[in-house]
Chains A and B, each alone.
Chain A
Amino acid sequence: MAAARVLLLWLACVAALAAESPGLEKRTAALAHELRCLVCQNQTLADSNAPLAVDLRNQIREQLAAGKSEQDVLDFMVARYGEFVLYRPPLRAATLALWIGPFVFLALGVWLLARRLARRRAAEPELSGAERERAAKLLE
């Protein structure tokens, strides 16, 4: 009976642990996808197998397990490696071109297209009254 109770308690503990760690893994992975691996710069920490990426993933997991928030971990990384580690850079003067650049180019494209279309319409030949009559006759 006592053994059964111990077993039950143990099962409950294992279940609790298992329930907790997938959440931690998920949060770790989510953060790792937000951060750049500086060794191979076009990969995220999640994709990279560089030793430093492994160390940094462990750092993320440890800090989250210790009760730190996602923002705390991001701040930790930025304090050491700079904003370059963020795949979503904050909007500020230095990154303004990065954020609005694509929209500027889109607007430029739309403007050029509109101008070209307007010009083509304007260039369509106007027919004089006599020409119009001739055309109508030909079409009959």
Chain B
Amino acid sequence: MKTIWLPLGFIALIGLLAAGLRLNPREVPSPLIGKPAPHFELPLLHEPDKRFTQRDMLGKVWVLNVWASWCPPCLVEHPVVTELAGSVPVIGLNYKDAREDALPWLKRNGDPYQFSVYDAAGRIAIDYGVYGVPETYVIDQKGVIRYKHIGPLTREVAQTRLRTLVKELDGGG
């Protein structure tokens, strides 16, 4: 009896630990999914006199991408964001950055965004639960957050998750 239970318990423990190792502790489920996108009104990065609020996008499916010129992973995901911007409107949220750094960064690497809003203090990002730039949100026609990706977008995630979801929302909405 003992000879069965000991190895069995050991295997169960190994299984538990193996499952734990496969989880990514950085992927914290966002409580914002299924909730209306928090309200903001921010100046544009390129035109400080103009302001944008998330309400301006009501009726459209769109992607909000949080980025900064000081964030290396943002540069890594930049080609993927650029590709994505071909099929869905992508608006940038420039996070805790300086205009004199952010604008040249876009010039150097290309600007896939319809436009970027400028959140120098990072206040709005807190409302969106941002903790690791880059982060990407899919927001539907009713202004509800449907998906959030933390960290650099990969081609795989953009293809399988974002584009399928956008297509689904566009078709169903």
> A residues touching B (Cβ–Cβ < 8 Å)?
38-39, 41, 51-52, 55-56, 59, 78-84
For B126, give its contact among A41, A56, A82, A83 (CB under 8 Å): A56
B72 CB → nearest A CB, Å: 15
B132 CB within 8 Å of chain A? yes
A80 touches B31 (CB 8 A): yes
* B132 partner, pick from A38, A83, A84, beta carbons under 8 A: A38
B25 touches A80 (CB 8 A): no
Q: Using CB atoms, name the residue of chain A closest to B5.
A: A112
Q: Are B28 and A82 in contact (CB under 8 A)?
A: yes
Task: Tell me the interface secondary structure of chain A in the complex.
Answer: helix
Interchain CA distance A52-B128 in the complex, whole Å: 13
Residues 104-145 of B, flagged 1 when their CB comes within 8 A of A and 0 if not, give 000000000000000001100011110110000000000000
Residues of chain A lying within 8 A (CB to CB) of residue B25: 41
Q: Which residue of A lies closest to B31 (CB)?
A: A82
Contact A80-B28, Cβ < 8 Å, known A51-B96, A55-B122: no
List, in ascending order, chain B residues with CB within 8 A of A78's CB. 31
Distance between A55 CB and nearest chain B CB, rounded to angstroms: 6
Give the docked Cα–Cα distance between A29 and B47 (Å).
39
Q: Which residues of B contact A (CB under 8 A)?
A: 25-26, 28-32, 96, 121-122, 126-129, 131-132
3 A-B pairs with the lowest CB-CB distances in the bound complex, closest first: A38-B131, A80-B129, A82-B31
Q: Are B126 and A80 in contact (CB under 8 A)?
A: yes
> With A55-B122, A55-B126, A59-B126 given, is the CB distance from A39 to B28 under 8 Å?
no
**CA A23 – CA B25 in complex, angstroms?**
35
Which residues of the partner chain A approach B96 to less than 8 Å between Cβ atoms? 51
Compute how far the CA of A12 lies from the CA of B5 in the bound complex, rounded to whole angstroms: 73
A39 to B126, CA, bound (A): 13
Chain A residue contacts of B129, Cβ below 8 A: 80-82
Q: How far is the CB of B119 from chain A (nearest CB, A)?
A: 11
A38-B28, A41-B26 are known contacts. Are A81 and B122 too (CB-CB below 8 A)? no
CB of A80 within 8 A of CB of B127, answer yes
Which interface residue of A52, A80, A84 has the most chain B CB atoms within 10 A? A80
A107 to B121, CA, bound (A): 51
* Contact A52–B28 (Cβ < 8 Å): no
* B25 (CB) vs chain A CBs: closest residue: A41
Which chain A positions have C-beta within 8 A of B128?
80
